[in-house]
A and B are shown apart, each in its own frame.
Chain A
Amino acid sequence: MAEKIIAYRFDQVDQTLSQLNKEDCTIIAGGTDVMVLYKSRRGVPPKITKPIVFIDHLNELKQVYKKGKDLHIGACCTYSDLLNDPLIPTPLKNAIKTIAAPAIRNRGTLGGNICNASPAGDTLPLLYVYNAKLVLRSVSGVRIVAISDFIQGVRRVDRKSNEILAEIILPSELEEGAYAVFEKVGNRNADAIAKVGFAGYIRTNGEVIKDIRFAFGAVGPTMVRSVDIEKKLIGKTIPLAGADIAQVLSAFDKIIKPIDDQRSTARYRKTVALNLLRYFLSRKQYQHN
């Protein structure tokens, strides 16, 4: 007989946090990553060695609301919840629509996608260019970190064992004149893990670029973003000159270092990544969304 599997499912976030403070646990939201990770033979319960804490039922972690210019999104909102919510920006909805199929979207959560920290996590490039901030809660209170600091490597995040991700804040979502887009290149539509993901963000005043950001997914251990390269384009006008575009492309050519794996080759990935960027930079105009 296997060892006993312990699990908690509290009614309140506070009780959940006290438990996490007492012992190191495996948090399960939708479980769409965790259950695959711990998959065992049919009929045999997945062997999750740490005590389990279920959090997907906690309403407090499923709220979507505006506070000033910021949009707060509860970590346990499922993809379907977000697709049905009028406050969620269209580019994020478009990214979510590329994720898996309806049954997975009815279960998988935004917080799970972030904490799972897969290089191919499809919401991540866009969250990077939105400068998303993460609200981590523990018994000692609240800690807010930038998503780019939180995600440290493949499946490695800066979460203390007594913390949960409670909310995702999109600070710049409402900035006027902003345009954002997510593009994904994969194999087939549903259930296709990205070979390359790209998010672009631009804010202009007339023709002048006030702010511009890019992030690439699935071409390195974490999302690839470079504020230094972005800065070089601020103040330029659209459409961008060919020389400016070439300069940005060659700068990214140096820092994008994809790998070969069963889904694709490094060369293909890099070519696609740079083409997506070129396409984004070559546009004559950007419809605000």
Chain B
Amino acid sequence: MITFTLNGRKVETDAPPSARLLDVIRDEYLLIGTKEGCGEGECGACSIFVNNLLQNSCLIPIGSIEGAEIVTIEGIMESDQFKILDESYSEAGGVQCGYCIPGMVMASAALLAQNPHPSEAEIREGISGNLCRCTGYNMIVDAINLAAKKGDGLWQKK
């Protein structure tokens, strides 16, 4: 049995220890906001937080996260930070097909929590592990810029 915290709730799973956290959160807990793109750490669609750090859930064996705090996109949706990101992504036209967006939003939130006033280069570095096949990234960079401005003062409290 592996015990961990998922979006603030204590949970237990008897998935085999090598099972990917990605599969466990999607198939067992039906949190399907977290997506699978490549399954190899390259695309960031599966991004989640482990103890507040951005990680790729497709690379995490469930047996390694005993006691950890896992937060998925569903876990941040009620936050003020999420509301600002949501608005900013819509306003900047940063969402097309949407497949990459949960991962992008997690990466954006991680970046802004660490660096509330990022430069454009820092924004691009912050989302460098997230692939988007639709937008060409510029609108996503705009969205994060906008979110930094709109949420001024909000990012560092977590």
Residue numbers of A with Cβ under 8 A of B are 2, 4-7, 9, 28, 30-32, 35-36, 38-39, 42-43, 45-48, 52, 54, 56-57, 80, 100-104, 106-107, 189-191
A39 near B39: Cβ-Cβ < 8 Å:
yes
Contacts of A54 in B (CB 8 A): 61, 63-64
Contacts of B129 in A (CB 8 A): 100-104, 190-191
Given contacts A9-B63, A101-B129, 18 further A-B contacts (CB under 8 A): A5-B16, A5-B17, A5-B18, A35-B59, A45-B23, A46-B18, A52-B17, A52-B61, A101-B128, A102-B111, A102-B125, A102-B128, A103-B54, A106-B53, A107-B55, A190-B128, A190-B129, A191-B129
Supposing A102-B126, A102-B128, A191-B129 touch, asked if A35 and B19 sit within 8 A by C-beta, the answer is no
Contacts of A57 in B (CB 8 A): 64, 66
Contacts of B23 in A (CB 8 A): 42-43, 45
A106 near B16: Cβ-Cβ < 8 Å:
no
Residue numbers of B with Cβ under 8 A of A are 15-20, 23, 27, 36, 39-42, 44, 47, 50, 53-56, 58-61, 63-64, 66, 107, 110-111, 125-126, 128-130
Closest to A46 in B: B18
Interface residue SS majority, chain A: loop
B59 near A9: Cβ-Cβ < 8 Å:
no
B44 near A103: Cβ-Cβ < 8 Å:
yes
Give A106 to B130 CA distance when docked, in angstroms: 15
Q: In the assembled complex, how far is the CB of residue A191 from the closest CB belonging to chain B, in whole angstroms?
A: 6
Give A229 to B102 CA distance when docked, in angstroms: 52
Supposing A7-B18, A102-B110 touch, asked if A42 and B126 sit within 8 A by C-beta, the answer is no
Give A151 to B108 CA distance when docked, in angstroms: 38
Give A255 to B16 CA distance when docked, in angstroms: 47
Q: In the assembled complex, how far is the CB of residue A130 from the closest CB belonging to chain B, in whole angstroms?
A: 26
The 9 lowest CB-CB distance pairs between A and B, nearest first, are A101-B129, A190-B128, A7-B17, A45-B19, A106-B53, A7-B63, A101-B128, A5-B16, A35-B59
A-B contact pairs, 8 of them (CB 8 A): A32-B59, A35-B60, A36-B41, A57-B64, A100-B129, A102-B126, A189-B128, A191-B129
B36 near A42: Cβ-Cβ < 8 Å:
yes
Contacts of B18 in A (CB 8 A): 5, 7, 38, 45-48, 52
Q: In the assembled complex, how far is the CB of residue B1 from the closest CB belonging to chain A, in whole angstroms?
A: 12
Q: In the assembled complex, how far is the CB of residue A83 from the closest CB belonging to chain B, in whole angstroms?
A: 11
Q: In the assembled complex, how far is the CB of residue A122 from the closest CB belonging to chain B, in whole angstroms?
A: 15
Closest to A32 in B: B59
B61 near A46: Cβ-Cβ < 8 Å:
yes
B56 near A103: Cβ-Cβ < 8 Å:
yes
Q: In the assembled complex, how far is the CB of residue B104 from the closest CB belonging to chain A, in whole angstroms?
A: 12
Contacts of B125 in A (CB 8 A): 101-102, 189-190
Give A190 to B130 CA distance when docked, in angstroms: 9
Give A43 to B26 CA distance when docked, in angstroms: 9
- Which listed residue, B15, B44, B60, B111, touches A31 by the CB 8 Å rule? B60
